[in-house]
Amino acid sequence: MDKFVIDQAEGLRRLLARVGSRVVAVTGGAGAPGRTTTVVNLAAALTEQGKDVLVIDECLGPRSVCTTLGGVRGAGNFEAVMRGEMALADAVGRHGLGFSVLAASRENRARYTGAQLQKVLAGPADVVLIDAQLDAEGALSPLALHAHDVLIVMRVCAQSITDTYASVKRLHFAHAIGQFRVLANQVASVEEAQSALENLAGVASRYLSVTLESAGWVAADPHMPRAVRLSRCIVDAFPSTVAARDFRHLADALPHWPMRPAVSSRSPGTSRLLGAAAAAAADAFVSTVAGVTSAPEPAHAGWRADPPAQRPTTQPA
């Protein structure tokens, strides 16, 4: 009996042993669905829970992770890591909340093979969050192809939902990705968010044979623009707000997502034109969501302060 208990304990230890980092590529459709602010707030929430988090900033420029956070010193040593001149631990910038940031421009990433890029993912981090930049064809970078999960951020309006569907199509045909996670952002109504996520999942399943799993939602919160102006995470600046609690729900759930192989290890995608039925799916989907959204909103730069809505303070994990 004692041996049976010891064997069970040893098996559990092996099961729970961490094997490498959990890599999540976070992206979104056209416009400003809130991909970058999702990355930094999720990083803050995971760090708050004791996780070692590395953020890789692929989308350099005025709306990059580093710019959103007011500048993170020492985050631009990507090439030094790739050349073997610096260890990853010495090359990253460290945010005041405890997570690390590494900037990786398109030009830098293009010079290296997938095996070489693995160097930046082989460190001690529990979770690596990539603010993923899609190319002109809507495909992931060679670095983001190491992700175990692709999380797509969308807003609950007709234009953003349609853009999300288009991103799913491109990513699916480029990389043969069969499962995505979708996060509804800046949500005014939980019921509308749930309905939009369910409708989107149904259309993707019907036309693409793709599984879309809900990652939950983040409330529209008037404190978010203020946090952005302060170059801070709402999780840290306004921890009692509904949006901050929603990011913590997401951070709670992420470690329990089923661990899938990295995108790069799955079957290669096929480059082909979509058939008429698949192309018509976007029109079908707009009709499907018409009952749960207002008129399409134009793409916008930055966060919009939606009015707060009455909603539960908790949501399912």
- Of 13 and 34, the structure prediction assigns the larger pLDDT to 34
- pLDDT of residue 309 exceeding 70, the answer is no
As given in the structure block, the two tokens for residue 188 are 């005014």
Mean pLDDT of 186-215: 95
Mean pLDDT of 210-230: 95
In the chain, the percentage of residues whose pLDDT exceeds 90 is: 51
CA distances from 315 to 38, 42, 235, 273 (A): 17, 16, 17, 40
Model pLDDT, residue 168: 95
Structural contact between residues 307 and 188, judged by C-beta atoms closer than 8 angstroms: yes
Among 262, 235, 256, 94, CA closest to 177: 262
206: phi then psi, degrees, rounded to nearest 5: -70, -45
- pLDDT of residue 313 exceeding 50, the answer is no
User: Where residue 266 falls among pLDDT bands split at 50, 70, 90?
Assistant: low
Rg (CA), the chain: 20
Structural contact between residues 6 and 275, judged by C-beta atoms closer than 8 angstroms: no
Among 42-51, 74-83, 222-231, 308-317, the minimum mean pLDDT is found in: 308-317
User: Where residue 194 falls among pLDDT bands split at 50, 70, 90?
Assistant: very high
As given in the structure block, the two tokens for residue 89 are 């631990």
- Of 17 and 265, the structure prediction assigns the larger pLDDT to 265
- The sign of the dihedral angle between the CA atoms of 53, 54, 59, 63 is positive
Question: What is residue 285's DSSP assignment?
Answer: H
* Domain segments of the chain as ranges: 22-289
Fold of 22-289: Rossmann fold (3.40.50)
Entry pTM: 0.81
